[in-house]
Chain A
Amino acid sequence: MKYLSAALAILALGPICAARADSGSALGESSRTAALAGSTTARTADAAAVHSNPGALGHADRPLVSLGGHVGDLRMWLARPGERPIELGQTVAGFQGALVARMPGPDWLRRLRLGLAVHIPAESALRITAPPRRDLPSAPLYGDRAGRIAATFSAGVELPWHLAVGLGVQLTPELWAPTTVSYDPSRSDDPDENVLVDLDRELRVRGAALAGVHFSPLDALAFGLAWRQAATVRAYGPNDTRAGPLVVDAEIDFHEVFAPEELAAGVMWEPIRRLSLSADLEWARWSAFRTIHNEVPDTRFHDVVNVRVGAEWTPRPPLTVRAGWAFEPSPVPPQSGLQNYADADRHVIALGLGVDLESRGWAPMRIDAHLRWHVLGRQHATKDLATLPDVDPDAPGQQIDNLGYPSFEASGTFVQAGLTVTIPLGGTAREGAP
């Protein structure tokens, strides 16, 4: 009985984009965050703050619940000269939910806000693909990053002088998986019944820390600073097989970077009533990237600085329109070595629409929708023979079986749509709250 997708199918599906998300899932932000191209470090008025800046949570003015969904289509290809392209695309869909609550009780306790954001992919809770071959083409900024469950807890505290600080933790799993397989022929005449498997599986919880500061000296001006620790998933353990004198003592050690360490600074400004502009600069430490086999790549990834800008305008309540643009340089270096990672500089263009039913007294909810595009440049890679292994040293010459040899090109696009419903749980919205 797999009812999960059906049970949650009340929510529309939206595409998945790269970059951060309310819950920390790559491609699982709320529609408002997506429509603003992720420029939300200095914004407060929705559950995006749970992950983008826990400090902004401290300035959240009312508790709320948000539920959303998204679906996206990644079209990515990699091709060697004269060959048909290898398709690296995928369809990714998911659901996200968030809860922001203000603590009840005396004034000092009411300064504390708590937030929880969860993202659940539509098809599976988690997918890790670690092929035996090191040179299999892959798109590291999409791939399994888009298909994992993510959860973030945050707490923000409202301080004097228009300041708020916050801390959070994004849960990341680590799988300890020792396996022993043996064979006892004396148990049965059926060989299948003689295979004995002893294994443990322990999915441990690790946390990636978040911290943030939000400073709002004026109603129309706010600054935000947020730091997010890298979120990685690891699966490891011995994998031993014995059948008579045959022994295979192997080990798995898989490592997936779901989000690099990031430091983001943002500003939000309302030049006129009902129009807010925001901009973020975000440094991402991709240089710490390790391959799925927990190895340093032939050529290290490099750190990048992403630029994000967004605008939100309420021409006439209840309608709000949003637009955003981001430039995300690719952290993937020239692919001249063993690996074949496909990625290129990326422009993100987003549009969004919001309807605030509460402002008209129709219903206490806000519905937001977004469309987002990723447009990747074209990647060119030429292999350096000196870095490629000879698969048959006994044969004369150098035998190369690398899947990117002698060169390849890659590019792609991504389209995503999504819908988010936000339900306030109490209090009154401040009109035009950012």
Chain B
Amino acid sequence: MESHVLSNIVVASLLAGGVLALLAARRSDLWRAAGGELLRRRPIALAVIAAFVLIALLDSVSWIGGGDPSAEGSVLALHQPRTVIDRLFPADFKERSYSAPLADFEFYDGAPLANPGAHLLGTDILGRDVLYLALKGARVALLIGGLTSLIVIPLALLMGVTAGYFGGRVDDVVFFVMSTLASIPTLLLLIALIMALGRGPVQVCVAMGVTGWVGFCRIVRGETFKLRELDYVQAARALGVSEARIIFRHILPNLMHLVVITFVLLFSGLVLSEAILSYLGIGIDGSWGQMIDQARDELARDPIIWWNLCAASAALFCLILAVNFVGDAVRDILDPRTLREKQ
């Protein structure tokens, strides 16, 4: 199967999974109330996140064809899969080098542009449109946060619940693995993993997953310890309910609020660490971190190139800020400890 078809299927199934999870959450009064409260408290931040998600989704669905065979530069368009975002821009939307936002001429040698006045945010050193690159970065950022969370959350739930529920030897082993991973400074462990696994988007996400699950696992383990001793779990056990059923019916649903909180709080940290990895040369191609890294010499030029750096930083900042604000609200709403403090 061709890779773009596969990626379309992955995107479609992720989308379906997300919609199913939302529908399931809507059926529960508690989750519906929490969702309403979140929407009331953080409408702007949620809208910003929704916009980024939409851009990323539009940039993930691709198909071949659709170019005008007579137009220049559309040879590529006819044979390569292009996403919706790609199609918003003309196929030959390129210059030879830097041009300022909305400029008609090249920035340094003054040659006329192929698309005068059309580059809203200018072009980079290779003449690529900066707005286009910044929009493309949204998909990479959400990929980092999303794929890593898909690794972290199931792994942490599996290990944490097993350790917390069964205790004893199992707990000792899990706790030792956690202590070992947690005792290596995060950035160093991340670097070591990527160096050993090799470079690439999946490797980076796996490395971030391996470094990221420990913190969440610790929370899950502690919470499971507490839940295990609660009366209704004891009652279920006395009635002869199987262990698996207790875990799935009584333990896991009571950990879901932690999953949501962790997912949101983890997300911004992951995207920011990818920016650091990009500087170290082991990040993911096309990320905002990589754009910032490429732009760092441009401020030393004379006259300076500012639009590349500004576009990537602004996009990164907006997403992280929105996620941080939503994360705080999610924690306030879902975490009963903070609720207790407020009474």
| Chain A complexes with chain B | no
Interface of A toward B, CB cutoff 8 Å: none
